[in-house]
Structure 1
Amino acid sequence: MSAPDMITTQVIGNALLGIAEEMGVALRRSAYSTNIKERSDCSTAVFDHAGRLIAQAEHMPIHMGSMAGLIAHLVGADLGLTDGDVFITNDPYAGGGTHLPDITVAAPVFRDGELIGFVADIAHHSDVGGRVPGSNSGDCGSIFEEGLRIPLVRLVTAGRLSTDVLSFVTLNSRLPEERGGDIRAQLAACHIGRTRLLELHDRYGAATLREATGALLDHASRRLRAAVAAVPDGEYAFTDHLDPDEPGGAPVPVAATVTVAGERIAVDFTGTGPQSALGINVVRSALEATVCYAVKAVLDPEIPANGGFFDGIAITAPEGCLVNPRPPAPVAGRTDCCQRVADAVLGALAKALPERVPAGSHSSVTYFTLAGEQGGDFWVYPEVVAGGMGARPDRDGLDAVQVHITNSSNLPIEALELEYPLRVNAYELITDSGGAGRFRGGLGIRREIQALDSGAEFSSHADRQQVPPWGLCGGLPGDPGAFVVHVRDGKGERLRSGRASGIHLEPGEAVRIEAPGSGGHGDPLERDPGAVAADVADGRVSPAAALDQYGVVLTAAGLVDVAGTAAERTRRNATT
């Protein structure tokens, strides 16, 4: 049968994307935990009969590698797939995810005994055991400390739920009822996906569906090759750094060399630091997802995110380095390193396509967990605080957003205070945290949370608390972030590392989370003085920074002193 026409192909492509989106809605609406139902820390996808990704809902870029890795294992393993089977895993070293809290559920889909595709979803669970509540601190020494490792096993066999497997997972969590509810929500999402994929199959037939998905994959591959061909041939290198992984140590390099030759693109991470004793290591699936995100964002954001695109990028990483570790290296805080991988690739591509790449963003998954007991019940509150997006070549960066490989929402204050014995004392933008430039970097966020009743235990992983986000083309770096614990009356203790655990907050004490800002783009002395005055009026820039960093003189009323500003900038330009 000939390939379907372009319109039919696009209709099928959008239908497949609609299936993935509907799965995501079902997962969020039926989940128990705030991390999934409120913060949307989950993703859903559809794969073809050969296990190639053909549609992923617009959720988390980091999850691309997780689900693709699992389906590859399902296709490659001799598991005897049957209709009604559903598989579960979370093992980063066996294609099951990128850290243990991310549990992946996947189901093969059959019609009349023929495999027509797979549906899968992944969700970050609030606790999967381990030595720290939340199973996600950055200071564990091996993956065995981080929680329960679930091998690739059947959770459902021919439509029948294995209560033994489910009980094994829930028993190893501090929140067994919540784990059971969230896993059942994932099963429900797969059921929705299976039903919709069968409906699509029955409408168009197996041959048309296969031809259309093949055409969608080929389209993504061709579009990537065309985008790469438009980049000047060459070798572009950039090295960024993670905060030190030991007290008094040096920043840890993440080096990327992007090579473009005709329609081919390759990314080599030779020069990246060795795997760490802390949980900042990145398994291969997470590395691939991050690189694909960064390349797509710069070269052509509209390329469909499917296997045809992912297969077109060659990635090299020496075994035993930070981005290709040997087990049992810990990986809980892998997203901080993934963010630095994205920054390194973007920094390299900025040398080839400077008009398309922003300055350094906050690029930290500023994650923390507060946990404790209330009325005999354990509770765990996980959160990721947004920061600044780097200034772009033609406009300011965005304030208070997630960037790169994560896309989770914040937990609204109302839901937080309803669910947990906590109070939010402050939630605000941090003045001056965005780097100065012709275009200003976006601002970070300050969030202060107070423990009530019996207190709380704090753990975390984060980065950019010592190495700040970089500026471009003369723009200044943004401010780094910080964790401040034992806060009372505005005063507290700043942690020396963003990777911590076992810190107890007494009732009435608070923790203050300050997410990094971002870098500026271009010479600050070229910024429109009116824009600086507006930033001061909005509280984004202080009057002192307006003068010190931008050379803008303001009147007592906050208006631009035009003559004074011109004289100040002339003086500064003459001395540089």
Structure 2
Amino acid sequence: MSNTLGEIEIQILWNRLLSVVEEQAQTLVRTAFSTAAREAGDISAGVFDMQGRMLAQAVTGTPGHINSMARAVVHFLNDFPAETLKDGDVLITNDPWKGTGHLFDLTVVTPIFLDGQAVALFASTTHVVDIGGLGVSAEGRQIYHEGLYIPLMYLVREGRMNEDLIGMVRANVREPVQVVGDIYALIACNEKGGVRLVEMMREYHLTDLQELGEQVIARSRRAMADVIAKLPQGRWSASMTIDGFEAPVTLAATLTIAGDRVLVDFTGTSGLSRYAINCPICYTEAYTSFGVKAALAPWIPNNTGTLDAVIVTAPENTIVNAPHPAAVYARSVIGHMLPDVVYGCLDQAIPDLVPAEGTSSLWNLSLLAGHGLTGTEGSAIRSFNVTTFHSGGAGARPKQDGLSATPFPSGVRNVPVEITEAITPLVVWRKELRQGSGGAGRQRGGLGQRMEIANREGTAFGIQARFERGEYPARGRHGGAPGATGSLSLGSGGAMKVKGFQVIPAGDRLIVEMPGGGGYGDPFARDPAQVARDVRFGLIAPEQARAQYGVALTAAGEPDAEATARLRAAR
């Protein structure tokens, strides 16, 4: 092959590179021990050049992991320069500020060698089931409460496992088999990616990735520049109030489109929380840049060239730029809301492009039982600790209804209830769409879910709640109505808080009602046939059709044209 890659070679090698990183990610999913990776796909995987620039990412994974990991590899190279790395080395950290935002995410980086020369770095991340400390709790006050802090260090050195570190992990976590198993899965997935990359390079007679990497990054950056240059130039601001923990939180953003870049500044956002909903700037950057790219150029590959087109800034000591040693475990509570704030700006610049607000922040159920937490003195209780991934409704889109029970922007998969029931004594008695929870609009907001959960052994269990949209619903856009708020309660009728550790008494049930997404456009402009369909499918009640949409139905459930016209005219 000549020194200059031709157009066809570049496309072939790019497609091959995508296959390499996808196999890397699937290796992690298939070998991981925790449900977060195996079932929910709460991971990331990618290949980097020796300067720490991300060239390609796997489709499998979440934006928070992928985009923050994209910046993390440079931190590893600062501490472990490329020329010092040896074949068989593997590096690790869970530093929230140099990794992906909290201690529960382990990031592993592996240098790959071809004929004795380091040619690439593979990085991967997964969310482990436990890392010690308070556990999956938003109630920590400092990072020191939140578990084992692993600075950037060797996990494997020239093929020899750091057994001292593995011993420290085993001694500090509640689920050592799962956590250590996930560490080995991270090593395995990077190794598999490296094997496939070397095969590719030998097949195409490449001695390094320099030229291919430069082409990938430059083309992605140029494509983003072309898209941004065609947009209206200017500055727009928006804000959103969410529940917070001890007090409501204001998220404020100013978005500037200037030349070939989009700048997002979070000046005006609330200060630090006393609790663990603070967000390191790396995670803020990750979800902000994802929100921008998803709206403006979803077809362009995501790599360093793409990410460099979005500049994110935030004043330090705000909830979106929390410095060490702030508690940050539940940083997703804030980070997942940031695309909604960005879309409030973009909607002013480019109408009819972005969706209404959604549930956005995941409604993951972290359920547990154990001595000192849910057991009474002298009682025998089966211990367990599980996080099962679920979501409320997404916001309606300009031309389509919002997706129900779908996580945006995180993109993780829901965990099947059968998995939770198989590994714990829990039973999910009910899991269904929550009728009427989507905001009314010309396009209806996505529905949330209703779940009913109990301990089949009849003993108490607890929930580490860290939910949003309990007080402030997802707002509609352009006349659309807000979605329903979410709530927790007991089957016996008692109300519960949407944040903090709480116990479900023995014999009682946990009722979870997840929020709905906001509607888009005037509800009275919705096609009466679609309203009738929603009633027929149980998505809204007949009385909602009349009150919210101005649609009267016949006894057969079809739109009554004359009665509907009168209702809409009388509004």
Q: TM-score, normalised by structure 1?
A: 0.94
**Is the contact between residue 49 and residue 55 of structure 2 (CA under 8 Å) also seen in structure 1?**
yes
1:97 matched to 2:70: no
In structure 2, the residue matched to 1:492 is 494
Alignment of 1:138-287 (within 5 A): 138-206=138-206, 209-246=209-246, 249=247, 251-287=248-284
Deviation at 1:506? 3.3
Instruction: Indicate if the aligned counterparts of 2:369 and 2:381 stay in contact, CA closer than 8 A.
Output: no
Separation in 1, partners of 2:414, 2:112: 34
**CA displacement at 1:242 relative to structure 2:** 2.1
User: How far is 1:35 from its partner?
Assistant: 2.1
Does 1:548 pair with 2:550?
A: no
Tell me if 1:538 matches 2:537. yes
Report the alpha carbon displacement of residue 206 of structure 1 after superposing the two structures with TM: 4.1
**1:494 & 1:159 partners in 2: Cα distance?**
50
Give 1:325 deviation, angstroms: 1.1
Give the match for residue 75 of structure 2.
73
Note the alpha carbon deviations across 1:230-270, whole angstroms, 9 max, x for none: 11011011111221331xx3x21111111112222211111
- Determine the structure 2 residue equivalent to 1:85: 89
Rounded Cα–Cα distance in structure 2 between residues aligned with 1:157 and 1:280: 35
Partner of 2:568: 569
Q: Which residue of 1 aligns with 2:408?
A: 403
Deviations along 1:431-485, whole A, 9 cap, x unmatched?
Answer: 111110111111011112112324322112111111110111111111111122x
**SS at the partner of 2:185?**
helix
Task: Give the deviation of 1:368 after TM superposition.
Answer: 2.5
Query: Could you report, residue by residue, the CA deviation over 1:519-542 in whole angstroms, capped at 9, with x for unpaired residues?
Result: 111111111111111101111111
Secondary structure in 2 aligned to 1:304? Answer: coil
Greater Cα offset, 23-32 or 505-514 = 505-514
Identity of aligned residues (%): 39
The one-letter code matched in structure 2 to 1:236 is W
Aligned counterpart in structure 1 of residue 486 of structure 2, from 460, 467, 481: 481
Which letter maps to 2:132? G
Unaligned runs of 5+ in 2: 372-379
- How many residues align? The count is 558
Moved more, 563-572 or 255-264: 255-264
Offset, 1:27? 1.1
Q: Do 2:277 and 2:332's aligned partners in 1 also have CA atoms closer than 8 Å?
A: yes
> Could you tell me how far apart the structure 1 residues matched to 2:269 and 2:144 are?
25
Pick from 425, 428, 433 the counterpart of residue 429 of structure 2. 425
Partners in 2 of 1:107 and 1:456 — Cα distance? 40
> Is the CA contact 1:433–1:516 (under 8 Å) kept in the aligned structure 2?
yes
8 Å CA contact 2:64–2:286 kept in 1: the answer is yes
**Structure 1 SS opposite 2:364:** strand
| 1:335-354 to 2 correspondences below 5 Å | 335-354=332-351
Aligned to 1:462: 467
Note if contact 2:479-2:521 (Cα within 8 Å) is conserved in structure 1: yes
Structure 1 residue aligned with 2:374: none
Q: Distance in 1 between matches of 2:390 and 2:514?
A: 6
SS in 2 for 1:62: helix
In the alignment, the residues of structure 1 paired with residue 359 and residue 444 of structure 2 have an alpha-carbon distance, to the nearest angstrom, of: 13
Give the distance between the partners of 2:352 and 2:227, measured in 1 at CA.
15
Aligned residues of 2:108 and 2:186 also touching (Cα < 8 A):
yes
Could you tell me which amino acid in structure 1 is paired with residue 256 of structure 2? T
User: Do the aligned partners of 1:241 and 1:340 also contact (CA within 8 Å) in 2?
Assistant: no
Amino acid at match of 1:558: G
Q: Report the Cα offset of residue 139 of structure 1.
A: 2.1
8 Å Cα contact 2:47/2:123 also seen in 1: yes
Whether the aligned pair in 1 keeps the contact of 2:367 and 2:461 (CA below 8 Å) is yes
CA distance in 2, matches of 1:403, 1:41: 13
Q: Secondary structure of 1:187's match? A: helix
What aligned pairs does 1:97-116 form with structure 2 within 5 A after superposition?
Answer: 97-116=100-119
Shift of 1:505: 2.5
Q: CA RMSD in A?
A: 1.7
- Superposition deviation, residue 173 in structure 1: 0.5
**CA deviation string 1:359-391 (max 9, x = no partner):** 111111112311125998742110222111111
Matched, 1:328 2:325: yes
Separation of aligned partners in 2, 1:378 and 1:203: 52
Aligned mates of 1:128, 1:509 — CA distance in 2 = 29
Match of 1:26 in 2: 27
Q: How big is the shift at 1:66?
A: 3.4
Moved over 6 A (4+): 374-377
Instruction: Quote how far apart the aligned CAs of 1:107 are.
Output: 0.6
1:17 aligns with 2:27: no
SS of equivalent residue, structure 1 residue 181? helix
| Conserved 8 A contact 1:66-1:285 | yes
Q: 1:311 is aligned with what amino acid? A: D
Superposed displacement of residue 198, structure 1:
1.6
- TM-score w.r.t. length of structure 2: 0.94
Distance 1:138 1:68 in 2: 26
What is the rounded CA distance, in whole Å, between the counterparts of 2:290 and 2:405 in structure 1? 20
C-alpha distance in 2 between matches for 1:307 and 1:523? 40
Pairing 1:520–2:524 present:
no
Segments of structure 1 that go 5 or more residues without pairing to the other structure are: none
- Over 3 Å counting, the alpha-carbon distance change for 1:325 and 1:178 in structure 2 is same
Contact 2:450 2:513 in 1 (8 A): yes
Q: Retained in 1: the 8 A contact 2:390–2:415?
A: no
**SS at 2:345 equivalent:** helix
- Higher mean alpha-carbon deviation, 449-458 vs 293-302, is at 449-458
Amino acid corresponding to residue 355 of structure 1 in structure 2: D
Q: Distance in 2 between matches of 1:241 and 1:380?
A: 32
* Inter-partner Cα distance in structure 2 for 1:504 and 1:13: 51
Whole-angstrom CA distance in 1 between matches of 2:3 and 2:514: 54
Query: What CA distance in whole angstroms lies between the structure 2 residues aligned with 1:207 and 1:188?
Result: 24
Deviation at 1:204, TM superposition (A): 2.8
Contact 1:355 1:393 in 2 (8 A): yes
Aligned residue type for 1:271? G
Structure 2 residue aligned with 1:389, among 387, 394, 401?
394
Alpha-carbon deviations, 1:80-131, whole Å to 9, x = none?
32111101111112x1221111111111112233221111111111111012
Matching residue of 1:447: 451
| 1:413 maps to 2:412 | no
One-letter code of the match for 2:108?
A: V
Contact 1:56/1:306 (<8 A) preserved: yes
CA deviation vs aligned residue, 1:295-334 (integer Å, no higher than 9, x gap)? 1111110111000011122221111111111211111111
Paired letter, 2:197: L
One-letter amino acid of the structure 2 residue matched with residue 292 of structure 1: S
Task: Verify the 8 A CA contact 1:136 1:461 in the aligned structure 2.
Answer: no
The aligned residue for residue 367 of structure 1 is: 364
**Contact in 1 for aligned 2:103/2:149 (Cα 8 Å):** yes
CA distance in 2, matches of 1:384, 1:37: 12
Note if contact 2:388-2:420 (Cα within 8 Å) is conserved in structure 1: no
In structure 1, what is the Cα distance between the partners aligned to 2:136 and 2:6? Answer: 48
How far, CA to CA, are the matches of 2:74 and 2:508 in structure 1? Answer: 47
- Measure the CA separation in 1 of the matches of 2:482 and 2:451: 22
